[in-house]
Amino acid sequence: MRGLAADPAFRNGVMRCVRCSICVPHCPSYAVFRTEGDSPRGRVQLLRAAIEGRVVPDATFERHLDNCLSCRACEDVCPSAVPYGQLLDQARAQLVTSRHARGRKRVTRIVLEQLVARPGRLALVARVLAIVQWLRLDRLIRWLVRPLSPVTARRLDLLPRVAGRPFDARTAPRPAAPTVAFHAGCVMASALGDVQRAALRVLGQRGHATLVPVGQRCCGALHHHAGLIEQARSLARDTVARFEGTSVPICTTSAGCALAMKDYRRWLADDPAWSARAAAFSTRIRDLVELAELAEPAEPGVRVPPGKVAVQEACHHWNVQQLRGRALELLRQGGATAVALPRGAGCCGAAGLWSAQNPEAAWQLLQPLLDAIEGSGCAVVSVSNPGCLFHIRAGLRARGSSIRALHLAELLDPADPA
Amino acid sequence: MAIPADLATRVRDVVGRDAYLDSPADTLSYGFNSYPLYTQPAAVVLFQSRAQIEQVLPLLYARDVPMVIRGSGTNIAGSALAPPGGVVLSLERMTKVLEVDPVSRYARVEAGANVKAIQELAGQHGLFFPPNPGNVDAITVGGIIGCNSSGDLALGYGATREFILGLDVVTGDGRVLKLGSKVRKDVTGYDLVRLFVGSEGTLGVVVEATLRFIEKPGSDASVIATFRDELGGAELALELLGRRLGPVALEYMDERTTRAVEEAFGLGLSPEARSTLIARFHGPAETANVAAEQCRAIFLAHGAIASEARAGDAAQKLWRARHLAYPALARVCPTLYGEDVVVPPRHFPAAVRRIHELGKAHQVEVALFAHAGDGHLHPVLLTDDSDPAQRARSDRFVEEVILYVLSLGGAITGEHGLGVHKTRYVGHQYGEAERDAMLRIKLALDPKGLFNPMIFPVTGHEPKNPRRRGVEIL
């Protein structure tokens, strides 16, 4: 952490915390682990101790940092404006090469570098997974694994279910004068192809000529959270370059990607060749829930299922991006009876790879949200982030619930009344 | 000082491996409060139940291990700061509501229960739990009992002490004292419940409390007003108290606090505002609104820049901003010392003036907010602890403020407690006879002086300068 001790911005950020504890009750990892080190306040104080030389980062120190879901609920409620997300990303970047938890870090690195960042391989894995799931082999594997390792069985519970064939940018129309560009994403494109195609129809229905740049890769959000900062920056540069040539807004269907891409200006701020390009790119990013800013629907009313729709708001909408209530508003404009879930239900516990690393904790965090969804009396729940969608679907499936979790794009889709 | 291995094993056997923490990262995580001083305990025990406390406490006590009880670690005076080489007894996992009786209007809860959750629990039964300290989202029932916290609504309802009917306390030898009862009228023997409320964890471990609920007010309205000069608001607060409108809360913020709160919460306050007053009224149906309107008229008639009544969500936002004034000041300066002195309300405007004068005289930056109706002032020192000269000036400022409030018949702490911060000043408020009486009580319940030993009265000797002592601990 020596490098961070010499960084005045990092030091000032850490020193801003007066340990008031306002963040603690809002933190999902504190809710599940219930120790100070697993609260935002505790983590910031650990960082302070580290740069002041009062503690040498060890396995426990790193575990507390890794237990953060990066939901940034703490940052949203912090009266002292502690830049928590930034501090944590910087600290994780320092610790990514440390000797602690090497095995787990290696697995994470392999998954992120060799799979998530490579669209071809990701699509292939998604197809294999789809076949496995179609043959119900996953259930058989789970049944065999469960007596040996309940944690692995839980991981299998949480494995994404592939929805339709992968989304391929090359098959999308190429308008001469696009009015919006579409970010296809990595996991979204591979495992939720149906959602991406629905999103294009939604944009089309709103009168947009949508350009889908080919060759898109992962936006780097997952890498950044895991402390793989250089890889994340490289993916960011790649993404920025793909969308240059036009200045139209860029629509994304993932709350996590939207936040990351809006943050590119910060990620690449110290890169003279890219800082201006990244800043220009970041201002173009629009989450699908910001759709109302992109265009009004060509005809009033989108086809949404009868009955009430419960609306789950992703942490990355609720916190930092301040897009609260936008999904609700869009669904209501479309004629749905949309019901906001109580925010007390909190984070679903997906958080990118976090749920794979902490399956039991992720499962525990999901339960109050599932209770709220089931208690809402709705037949459908709207979700706006891929991680949350997989996680909530897995939870509802495990409960044997008939409630369907659908992406907002599927609910707004004019061609496919869900 | 490390905890002997055999003792650690025995404690682990009771609470489980995961609930006994002794790695450096974990013990550091429990070595702080909101007070700017860091210590490092030898171990932390995370209790799940009172039964575990009853088993573990005699083990630690018999081996002379110093201990501190910690809820959510929010104390601003360092009342829950780990003694060097000691053990933190964390009650943050003991949050259960054990019994609610809406007819008799009480609830029995574990000491780690969150105060906001208790307020909501009362609300679900159409009842009201008035203790409302600033950090209500995070603080625990045990914490407000330890410091007899009051917060803004103390003007209308009194401090925590008024709402505690009974306590279960575990002492060092593992005995359980069941103090008080479930009824309001109880004069059986000495009032040991009141003794424990405000004792800052120096006498034993409060594990359960029976809380008194009252009827929920039929109406609730708030008024905010800003003023062009810093004293204007303070003087008007006194004027308002004389008008007998019966506010349940009457809060004051000086210029620095007003600005920090505006920056953090965007209340829409005038940039010309040099002070702010916020009043709150409760009463039977609609009476609060009538009182709030009268109050607003008084504010405007006395030169307020602007004044408006707020209710519902807008009022909630207003009170949240006021409650979080202290952490909002961290935007101005990262090292804060939150002071906590009380004067008879008559002297409130004079005290505001004097505290600012003392700040200037000692060249320390001071922001001030206050529960004006109670004459309860929170000057906040905005300081840099790494500068010894500034630290010395801050110490002199605090001591002079203390001498000043005592000269008016006030108290050196109203709700934060003595903590390690003010232990050294007790002698200014109490003479030897009073301190000796307190010491005897302390030793009757904690003969080895192991509970929260950094706080007076321990074994007769007070730490001379806890801040420096803290640095040594590091």
Chain B environment of A15 (Cβ under 8 Å): 334-335
Q: What is the pLDDT of residue B333?
A: 85
Chain A environment of B79 (Cβ under 8 Å): none
Nearest CB to B327; choose among A15, A20, A60: A20
Tokens standing for residue A117: 């960042």
On whether any CB of chain A is under 8 Å from the CB of B28, the answer is yes
> Judging by DSSP bridges, how do beta strands B205-212 and B306-310 pair with one another?
unpaired
Q: Which of A1, A16, A18 to mutate to test the interface with B (most CBs of B within 10 A)?
A: A18
**Which amino acid would we find at residue B105?**
R
Tokens standing for residue A401: 């619930």
Q: Give A75-112 pLDDT, tens digit per residue.
A: 999 999 999 999 998 998 888 776 666 677 778 888 88
Torsion of CA A12, A16, A18, A20, to 10 degrees: -140
C-beta separation of A274 from A268 below 8 A: yes
Contact B33 A19 (CB under 8 A): yes
Q: Which residue of A has its CA nearest to B33?
A: A19
Chain A environment of B264 (Cβ under 8 Å): 79-81
Nearest CB to B324; choose among A19, A22, A60: A22
Which residue shows structure tokens 């409630």?
A: A403
Would you tell me which CATH number, out of the four given (3.30.2320.50, 3.20.20.150, 3.30.930.10, 3.30.70.2190), belongs to the domain B219-326? 3.30.70.2190
Nearest CB to A55; choose among B28, B93, B139: B28
Q: What is the pLDDT of residue B318?
A: 94
Chain B nearest C-alpha distance from A80 (Å): 5
Partners of B451 in the beta sheet? B67
Listed in order, the ranges of chain A carrying CATH 3.40.50 are 308-412
| Alpha-carbon distances, residue A167 vs A125, A229, A287, A410, B113 (angstroms) | 14, 27, 18, 14, 49
User: Residues 211-270, chain B: which have Cβ within 8 Å of A?
Assistant: 264-265
Complex-level ipTM beyond the 0.90 threshold: yes
Indicate whether B17 pLDDT > 90.
yes
**Which amino acid would we find at residue B242?**
G
Q: What is the pLDDT of residue B460?
A: 44
Give the fold, CATH level 3, of A308-412: Rossmann fold (3.40.50)
More confident residue, B107 or A129: B107
Nearest CB to B24; choose among A12, A42, A55: A55
Tokens standing for residue B20: 């006994």
Q: Give A314-356 pLDDT, tens digit per residue.
A: 888 888 888 888 899 888 888 888 999 987 668 899 888 888 8
Q: In 3D, which of B223, B331, B328 has the Cα closest to residue B277?
A: B223
Q: What is the pLDDT of residue B73?
A: 95
**Which amino acid would we find at residue A122?**
L
- At residue B261 the predicted structure's pLDDT band, cuts being 50, 70 and 90, is very high
The CA-based angle B444-B450-B454, given to 5 degrees, is: 110
On whether any CB of chain B is under 8 Å from the CB of A25, the answer is yes
- At residue A183 the predicted structure's pLDDT band, cuts being 50, 70 and 90, is very high
Q: What is the pLDDT of residue A298?
A: 56
Q: Which of B15, B23, B28, B336 to mutate to test the interface with A (most CBs of A within 10 A)?
A: B28
Tokens standing for residue B388: 């010894």
Q: What is the pLDDT of residue A101?
A: 65
A322, exposed or middle or buried, with CB in 10 Å at 0-12, 13-18, 19+? exposed
Give the fold, CATH level 3, of B333-426: Alpha-Beta Plaits (3.30.70)
Q: What is the pLDDT of residue B470?
A: 37
User: Which of A299-313, B7-21, B418-432 is modeled with the greatest confidence?
Assistant: B7-21
Q: What is the pLDDT of residue B467?
A: 43
Nearest CB to A61; choose among B25, B38, B72: B25
On whether any CB of chain B is under 8 Å from the CB of A49, the answer is yes
Q: What is the pLDDT of residue A343?
A: 72
pTM, rounded to two decimals: 0.91
Would you tell me which CATH number, out of the four given (3.30.43.10, 3.30.230.10, 3.60.40.10, 3.40.50.720), belongs to the domain B5-90? 3.30.43.10
Listed in order, the ranges of chain A carrying CATH 1.10.1060.10 are 2-95
Q: What average pLDDT does the segment B468-474 reach?
A: 34
Nearest CB to A37; choose among B25, B93, B137: B25
Chain B environment of A58 (Cβ under 8 Å): 23-25
Chain B nearest C-alpha distance from A343 (Å): 15
Residues 6+ apart with CB under 8 A from B327: A18, A20, A22, A78, A79, A80
Indicate whether B417 pLDDT > 70.
yes
- Of the given ranges (A125-139, A243-257, A381-395), which has the lowest mean pLDDT? A125-139
Q: In 3D, which of B207, B206, B173, B205 has the Cα closest to residue B87?
A: B205
Indicate whether A200 pLDDT > 50.
yes
Contact B135 A34 (CB under 8 A): no
Contact B330 A54 (CB under 8 A): no
Number of H-type helices and E-type strands within chain A: 25, 8
3-state secondary structure of A276: helix
Q: What average pLDDT does the segment B254-271 reach?
A: 94
- Report d(CA B32, CA B37) in Å as an integer: 7
On whether any CB of chain B is under 8 Å from the CB of A64, the answer is yes
Q: If you count them, how many residues does chain A have?
A: 418
CATH top class, domain B97-215: alpha beta
Q: What is the pLDDT of residue A305?
A: 66
Q: What average pLDDT does the segment B144-152 reach?
A: 95
- Report d(CA A349, CA A366) in Å as an integer: 6
More confident residue, B235 or A119: B235
On whether any CB of chain B is under 8 Å from the CB of A100, the answer is no
Q: Which residue of A has its CA nearest to B322?
A: A79
Residues 6+ apart with CB under 8 A from B275: B226, B227, B229, B230, B231, B232, B233, B234, B252, B253, B254, B255, B258
> Judging by DSSP bridges, how do beta strands A404-407 and B43-46 pair with one another?
unpaired
Q: What is the pLDDT of residue B424?
A: 87
User: Which of A64-78, B156-170, B460-474 is modeled with the greatest confidence?
Assistant: B156-170
- Report d(CA B33, CA B25) in Å as an integer: 16
On whether any CB of chain B is under 8 Å from the CB of A324, the answer is no
Chain B environment of A25 (Cβ under 8 Å): 114, 116, 137-138
- At residue B391 the predicted structure's pLDDT band, cuts being 50, 70 and 90, is confident
Q: Which residue of A has its CA nearest to B263?
A: A79
C-beta separation of B298 from B241 below 8 A: no
3-state secondary structure of A218: coil
Chain B environment of A64 (Cβ under 8 Å): 25, 29
Tokens standing for residue A410: 């599927």
Indicate whether A413 pLDDT > 90.
no
Q: In 3D, which of A308, A304, A305 has the Cα closest to residue A334?
A: A304
Q: In 3D, which of B150, B182, B185 has the Cα closest to residue B166?
A: B182
Q: Name the phi and psi angles at B404, rounded to 5.
A: -65, -50
Q: For a pLDDT cut of 70, what percent of chain A falls above it?
A: 94
Indicate whether A416 pLDDT > 60.
no
- CA B54, distance to chain mean position in Å, is 27
Q: What is the pLDDT of residue B218?
A: 93
Q: Give B108-121 pLDDT, tens digit per residue.
A: 999 999 999 999 99
- Report d(CA A240, CA B378) in Å as an integer: 51
Indicate whether B224 pLDDT > 70.
yes
Q: What is the CATH number of domain A2-95?
A: 1.10.1060.10
Q: What average pLDDT does the segment A32-56 reach?
A: 95
- CATH topology match: B219-326 vs B333-426: yes
- Of the given ranges (A70-79, A137-146, A212-221, B152-161), which has the lowest mean pLDDT? A137-146
Q: What is the pLDDT of residue A356?
A: 85
- At residue B472 the predicted structure's pLDDT band, cuts being 50, 70 and 90, is very low
User: Residues 280-309, chain A: which have Cβ within 8 Å of B?
Assistant: none
| Domain ranges, ordered by start, for chain B | 5-90, 97-215, 219-326, 333-426, 428-473
Strands (E) in B39-158, as ranges, are: 43-46, 67-70, 87-90, 97-101, 106-110, 127-128
Residues 6+ apart with CB under 8 A from B64: B448, B450
* pLDDT averaged over every residue in chain B: 92
- Report d(CA A296, CA B195) in Å as an integer: 66
* pLDDT averaged over every residue in chain A: 88
- Of the given ranges (A23-27, A221-225, A269-273, B353-357), which has the lowest mean pLDDT? A221-225
Q: What is the pLDDT of residue A302?
A: 56
**Which amino acid would we find at residue A39?**
S
Contact B32 A45 (CB under 8 A): yes
Residues 6+ apart with CB under 8 A from B388: none
Chain B nearest C-alpha distance from A317 (Å): 20
Q: What is the pLDDT of residue A297?
A: 59
Count contacts between A and B (CB, < 8 Å). 104
Q: Which residue of B has its CA nearest to A39?
A: B29
